[in-house]
Each structure stands twice: as structure tokens, then as C-alpha cells.
Amino acid sequence: HTIDDEAGRVIVAENASFHPLRVGWEADAEGFVSSRRLLMCQDVLPPRTRQVLVVLSRDLKGKAFRLSYGFDGGGHEGGGVPAVGLHIPDIDDLGQLKALHAPQPIAGGAAGGAAGLAIPPAA
């Protein structure tokens, strides 16, 4: 899911399956600040979870704004995935933003995600 407005953009991944999902995101941008501190991430979402991959806010000091990005993903073939998922860059280093980027259970699903931010499904 992507939520976009004049202030920036929010990128959310959802794993509706019963298997871990690997998802990657990478951007080429100017005039934006990333909540993950980098313009890339690689995450493994536990089954039946969704996660805010990144929030991109416009840098008000910027004179120019440019943004392009891409995704990749697939099934995770590694070992077991902890309930908090696997993350590059590590979300444990994000301080108060850690809860924003932690996998969240999908309503009505048996997920092992962390409690906290509830993201409504896209309309």
C-alpha cells in the first residue's frame, strides 16, 4: 500500500499469507527524509502481518524534490522468523520510531507481530 500527499509518502507492506514474506524497497530521491534513515530497506514479515516499511517526509529546506523507487520480494526461505520479523536496517536502532516500523498483526489473523500502531486496510 502507498499513501501519498503533499507532505510525503508512506509505504506499507502486507503479508496476508501463512508463510514469512521477504520484501525490499529502494529509492533514488532528493528533498526527502526517510524514517528508516536510509533510502532502502529489506524486511521479512512474519505471517499475517503488515508493516510500515518507510515514511518519506519532504525536507522543507530542499529546493528540489525528486523521488523514484522500486520493490522486490518473495517467500522467505531462511530459518524461522521471529515474531518481530527481520530488518535491514535494524529497527531497534530507530528509538521512538521502532514501534512505527514493527510488524503489526492483521485484524482477524493469528500473527506474532508486536502490538502498537494499527494500520487500517487500504480502501
What's the pTM? 0.79
pLDDT at position 123 is 43
Amino acid 91: pLDDT: 94
> So what's the pLDDT on residue 108?
67
- pLDDT tens digits, one per residue of 14-34: 999 999 999 999 999 999 999
Counting as low any pLDDT under 50, the low residues of the chain are 110-120, 122-123
DSSP code string of the chain: -EEEETTEEEEEEEE-SSS-EEEEEEEEEESEEETTSSSEEEEEEPTTEEEEEEEEEE-TT-S--EEEEEEEEEE--SS---TT-EEES-GGGGGGGHHHHS-EEPTTS---PPSS---PPP-
